[in-house]
Structure 1
């Protein structure tokens, strides 16, 4: 990796625009050229990249980040987004759009959240926190509180909050929300339940609140998410379920 990064640094010094796709951001980060700069990678590698190179501003909500002399792209298939971004950069938007039409692909995508998946940590070694996680996953539709979780873990609220965040990387309320949205995604992808029914089934009595939280988490409203990722593509969806 050191040889590759050294070669890239040499090309950059010659005026070459450097690019990375997916895990290629790790090699790019080895050059030191994205220190204190924004860069993206696949959402599943974001935490590892940030831990290994803490001076890099990892921004995985974006599919492509054009920082002038350096361009980074997200997942492995984001090379199409990167390629079209470079075409637009050097040849203009008109040529880029013509290229996209010829290749039968969409213009460059700008975000990643709708493709990301919640990956809870269970191998952190904290047995008390693990028990709370299992409780949250099993009863995510029920009303839950910090006090209830703290009691289950046998800790004070303050100790519980600190240990939960250390073990999982998230606050308990955020974790619960991620679990609920994960289950909502699955239902939207695999069932024909109405959107309101799905919201109710995971603990959101207010359909409007569910839609807002889902959009904030995924970047899409539930209807658009189902249209993009659902097996049935939303066919037969009751009008009231939108």
Structure 2
């Protein structure tokens, strides 16, 4: 039987991560019993104090056990902790050495959504892949440049460390873990019982690109504004460099540092975001949308669109355009 420690941190924590994990893993045990198989999980809520009141004051979580009493666990679940990540780490720093010690003793660790910030604070993600909510991707990269953030993925797995993307994608990671520990048959059963889409691997279709402007480089912000207002035209790095009186190499280096994208990647993402909005609400066909955002090559447009969203333009329109669905 695997001992599962679901952390109950101080602060405004995702209660759905905590309760949902407890409910779903408990259901696995029930289904295993129905199959005349032994229960798989011993599940405990692990906290820093007996009554953990959430910041909003509406809920209080009562952990089963305090962290100091857990000498050995097999799987640690870190829920999303909302608010300032540095404050969250400070308020819950007593968990950090315990997580590291348990991992080094053979435990596996999973973080949900922006719980990745807390997991990264342990140092265990250094040099490893990690997923988090796409909204927090730029902030995460700035805080933890040593971590390989893959913001398009629903989940990652590396050396016994698991991370999930935004919000309810934690359900997809749970199904993945259930399949790994209990088998495909149980994972399918649980996915159907809770109506969770099994084998979903990307959060790209859900990303809204809003530009990465939480930086202090005013010249790069001018370049971003120019791109966003002129994306239908052909924009070159040399053109931007001349406009800002910067050398090409200096512009490219500063742009990448500020936005986590190259200039060409940023232009592509702005174009694709404009195309997505047209496909979501407009009546134009794919070619009309393509020309409107500045592409003339159908193959190139489809390739860039799929790379960014995980879907073809037609698949995206069918998914999000109500008129198209009708």
TM interval, shorter chain, is 0.7 to 0.9
- Please give the alpha-carbon distance, in whole angstroms, between the structure 1 residues aligned to 2:235 and 2:141: 32
Contiguous gaps of at least 5 residues in structure 2: 1-91
Q: Answer with 110-119 or 219-228: which moved more.
A: 110-119
Shift in CA distance, 171/86, structure 1 to aligned 2, threshold 3 Å: closer
Does the alignment pair 1:201 with 2:292? yes
Q: CA deviation at 1:54?
A: 3.4
| 8 Å Cα contact 1:61/1:112 also seen in 2 | yes
Give the corresponding residue for 1:86: 177
| 8 Å Cα contact 1:2/1:30 also seen in 2 | no
Instruction: Give the secondary-structure state (helix, strand or coil) at the position aligned to 2:151.
Output: coil
| TM-score with structure 1 setting the length | 0.85
| 8 Å Cα contact 2:116/2:132 also seen in 1 | yes
- Structure 1 segment 200-219 matched on structure 2, within 5 A: 200-219=291-310
Equivalent residue for 2:133, pick from 37, 42, 56: 42
| 8 Å Cα contact 1:4/1:27 also seen in 2 | no
Does the alignment pair 1:138 with 2:204? no
Q: CA deviation at 1:206?
A: 1.7
Let me know the Cα RMSD of the aligned residues: 2.4
Instruction: Give the secondary-structure state (helix, strand or coil) at the position aligned to 1:111.
Output: coil
Instruction: Give the secondary-structure state (helix, strand or coil) at the position aligned to 1:66.
Output: strand
Contiguous gaps of at least 5 residues in structure 1: 237-242
Give the corresponding residue for 2:123: 32
Give the corresponding residue for 2:23: none
Higher strand share: 2
Instruction: Give the secondary-structure state (helix, strand or coil) at the position aligned to 1:55.
Output: coil
- Please give the alpha-carbon distance, in whole angstroms, between the structure 2 residues aligned to 1:76 and 1:154: 42
Give the corresponding residue for 2:147: 56
Q: Answer with 209-218 or 164-173: which moved more.
A: 164-173
Does the alignment pair 1:73 with 2:164? yes
Give the number of equivalent residue pairs: 235
Does the alignment pair 1:103 with 2:194? yes
**Structure whose CA Rg is larger:** 2
| 8 Å Cα contact 2:96/2:122 also seen in 1 | yes
Q: Answer with 105-114 or 32-41: which moved more.
A: 32-41
Q: Answer with 121-130 or 183-192: which moved more.
A: 121-130
Give the corresponding residue for 1:187: 278
Q: CA deviation at 1:13?
A: 4.7
- Please give the alpha-carbon distance, in whole angstroms, between the structure 2 residues aligned to 1:111 and 1:50: 19
Give the corresponding residue for 2:34: none
Q: Deviations over 1:76-109 (max 9, x none)?
A: 2112112111210111011111111122221041
Does the alignment pair 1:3 with 2:80? no
- Please give the alpha-carbon distance, in whole angstroms, between the structure 1 residues aligned to 2:228 and 2:118: 37
- Please give the alpha-carbon distance, in whole angstroms, between the structure 2 residues aligned to 1:95 and 1:104: 14
| 8 Å Cα contact 1:82/1:108 also seen in 2 | no
Give the corresponding residue for 2:27: none
Higher helix share: 1
- Please give the alpha-carbon distance, in whole angstroms, between the structure 2 residues aligned to 1:52 and 1:100: 35
